[in-house]
Amino acid sequence: MSEAVTYEQVGGVVTLTLNEPDTRNALSPAIIDAIVGYVARINADLTVGCVILTGAGEGFSSGGNVKRMQDRNTAAVQKAPVDIRAYYTTGIQRIPLALHTLDAPIIAAVNGAAIGAGCDLASMCDIRIAGRSAKFGESFARMGLVSGDGGAWFLPKAVGLSKAYEMTFTGDFVDAEEAARIGLVSKVVDDAALLDEARAMAQRIAAHPVHSIRMSKRLIRDSNQVSLPIALDMAAASQALVQTTHDHKEAVQAFAEKRKPKFEGR
């Protein structure tokens, strides 16, 4: 049986591929467990400088599994509200909590459809690149649902409040070019070039000192939640740490000697 999410590392770049193409990578319990486990693995591995998240087959992720919704709604015994709440908090909501704590930068290489929770999953990544056939949909209203997986927190940070409301209230699909216009993705490339483009960017990121990149990510993420004086204090503390690393000293020395630095992740 194939892995729900495959893990491949080349140099400092890890590629995570959602690998249930028969459901267009709907977010199954196996996919949830794999993503959460891989985040913990990457956080503990300083050889990882950047992560790419993509989907196998024709789509990035279709979000929720509609067949399971149909089975649930025709079941003889319906779950109580407290049980449904627990289903989310112990299930799909583990993904946003995990990705929010991922130390390494993560790029979503969005191939095909990213719908519902799949759209939210893309918005949880730091950078998003889309193939030309990609489409996004905050489509919960179409199914009489709300975003139960954290999209209401992540999506406005990606596209702004007004556009997040529009996408949520209308359920309209957004193509790749429109996604670029509203800031949901950084760039649009030909489908055949999507992974190559993501890998090239990931390699540029991973070429930098790992402590600097990981602390910079944490600083951007956490500064957005605090006052300016606290953000400045966090920046000073982070600077105090990275200035004592071998890689910082090597970068300064290499610059002075006009040579390429050799970083060691320490």
Q: What is the DSSP string of 138-204?
A: --GGGGT----SSHHHHHHHHH-HHHHHHHHHH--EEEHHHHHHTTSSSEEE-GGGHHHHHHHHHHH
Give the pair of three-digit tokens for residue 196: 């190559």
CA-wise closest residue to 28 among 118, 106, 114: 118
Give dist(CA 7, CA 9) in Å, integer.
7
Residue 91: C-alpha distances to residues 27, 65, 84 (Å): 10, 14, 10
Contact predicate 111/56, CB 8 Å: no
154 touches 121 (CB < 8 A)? no
Contact 177, 156 (CB under 8 A): no
Angle at alpha carbon of residue 124, lines to 118 and 130, rounded to 5°: 65
Mean confidence (pLDDT) of the chain:
94
Q: What pLDDT is attached to residue 216?
A: 97
141: Cβ–Cβ under 8 A, 6 or more apart, which residues? Answer: 168, 169, 170, 171
Residue 73: predicted pLDDT: 60
Cβ–Cβ < 8 Å for 123, 158: yes
Rg (CA), the chain: 20
Q: pTM of this prediction?
A: 0.93
Task: Give the residue ranges of the chain where pLDDT is below 70.
Answer: 1-2, 65-77
- The H-or-E segment that residue 106 falls in is strand 106-110
Q: How far is CA 243 from the centre of its chain?
A: 29
Is residue 265 a contact partner of residue 210, using CB atoms and an 8 Å limit?
A: yes
Question: What pLDDT was estimated at residue 76?
Answer: 56
Q: What is the pLDDT of residue 79?
A: 82
How many angstroms separate the CA atoms of 167 and 155, rounded? 9
